[in-house]
Amino acid sequence: MIEKYWDPIYNFYKKNVLYIIAFLSIIILLIAYTCFEKDFWAFDVLKSLGFTLISGGVFAVIVKSEQFSNIFQNELRNIIYGDEDLKKRVDLEELWDKVTKALCNQKFKLISKKLHDGVKICYLPINHEFYYRDHKVEIHIEIDKENPEYVIVNEQTETTLISEDTKEICYKFSSSIPLIEGEEELTTYEVSNFTVDKEKKVLSVDELVIVKKDNYLNAYCHYKVSGKKKYKIIRVEKKRYNLKANPYRQHNAIWLYQNFSLDLIYSKELKIDFIEMGVVNKFETNLKDHLGTHNRLNAHYEGLIFTKQGFILLLNKL
């Protein structure tokens, strides 16, 4: 029964507390200034009490108000999630780890660690210094007339390397070709042309290493560039190898690619299958006749290709 009468009073007070405090403060100040001399102790007490009520009441109302709550929430949200503040944080990887681990654990508890580690390693640029934009590969494959079990492959790779700064970075590529025992000299590899921003470069023996070992011909190239944020790189390779020993051509990304194009011309004596490997989107492919003696396969990918994704070509002689 008491609560029935108390609630309206409490609600009225809560709704009008600022006005009530202001009214009481004015009354106290009026009493102080009209009823007491300024050198009397009661004047100082009432004056201090009046101004304290005004300042304290206003602050209390603001703190409890919805407006203050919204302001505080918005500022807190900006501090945690705002673009400008995120750019200044040095713990972004740790922050991502915490959020992703919590999400993985919430959704797939039994495999949460494997899921988190896989996404981090394959899809985030944690260890990436740059990425490739508009990566184009042109391949021409012919049967070696003098050695019909071998194919001759001429390949040109054109790409734009994009970095976020001008620090030194290392452009890398490699090739590994199986050897046929007793026919090692028939398997060959060379880089016939290498240009950076239209300037021809001569790769040193330290930059391009070619070695035949353990029944494989291995080629490794590490070429360092610096001073720019963008480099146009073109390389031309020529290979000859035994088709049965190496019946496929695999291209999987070691860095991020943005857009990829393949132009493959090959003899009609060959059958080639194009197989995607783990890409998020689909390659657009088009196979057509080329000059009556060859086939021509065009494959284009629009979007990002992540680490270990790409395609494989399966080669068979008809």
Residue 149 sits in a domain whose CATH number is 2.60.40
Q: Over the chain, what is the mean pLDDT?
A: 83
Q: Is residue 77 part of a domain?
A: no
Residues 76-86 have pLDDT tens digits of: 555 455 566 66
Whole domain around residue 227: which residue ranges? 130-317
pLDDT of 89 above 80: no
- In this predicted structure, what is the pLDDT of residue 16? 64
pLDDT of residue 235: 98
The residue among 104 and 226 whose pLDDT is bigger is 226
Given a cut of 50, whether residue 68 has pLDDT beyond it is no
- Tell me how many domains the chain contains: 2
- For the ranges 17-21, 22-26, 172-176, the lowest mean pLDDT is seen at 17-21
Among 61-75, 108-122, 266-280, 293-307, which is the least confidently predicted range? 61-75
Q: Is residue 311 part of a domain?
A: yes
By the 8 A CB rule, do 276 and 213 touch?
A: no
Phi and psi at 38, nearest 5°, equal -65, -20
Whether residue 193 is found in the same domain as residue 62? no
3 state SS of 50: helix
Q: Is residue 101 part of a domain?
A: no
Model's pTM, two decimal places? 0.69
Last residue of a domain, one of 52, 70, 88: 70
- Whether 162 and 310 map to the same domain: the answer is yes
**Same domain as 299, residue 221:** yes
Return the percentage of the chain with pLDDT > 90, whole number.
54
Would you say residue 34 lies in a domain?
Answer: yes
> Is residue 282 one of the residues assigned to a domain?
yes
Look at residue 175 in the predicted model and tell me its pLDDT: 94
CB 285 within 8 A of CB 246: no
Structural domain includes residue 105: no
E strands, 253-309, in order: 256-267, 270-277, 284-290, 294-305
- The answer to whether 22 and 54 are in contact (CB under 8 A) is yes
Report if residue 146 sits inside a domain: yes
For range 216-237, the mean pLDDT: 97
Residue 150 falls within a domain, yes or no?
Answer: yes
With tokens 């030194």, the residue in question is 168
Residues 134 and 56 in one domain: no
Q: What is the pLDDT of residue 58?
A: 52
Average pLDDT over residues 97-107: 77
Q: What is the pLDDT of residues 132-173, one digit of tens each?
A: 999 999 999 999 999 999 999 999 999 999 998 899 999 999
57 & 140 share domain? no
- Whether residues 57 and 151 share a domain: the answer is no
Name beta bridge partners: 104: none
Q: Which backbone phi and psi does 179 adopt, to 5 degrees?
A: -105, 150
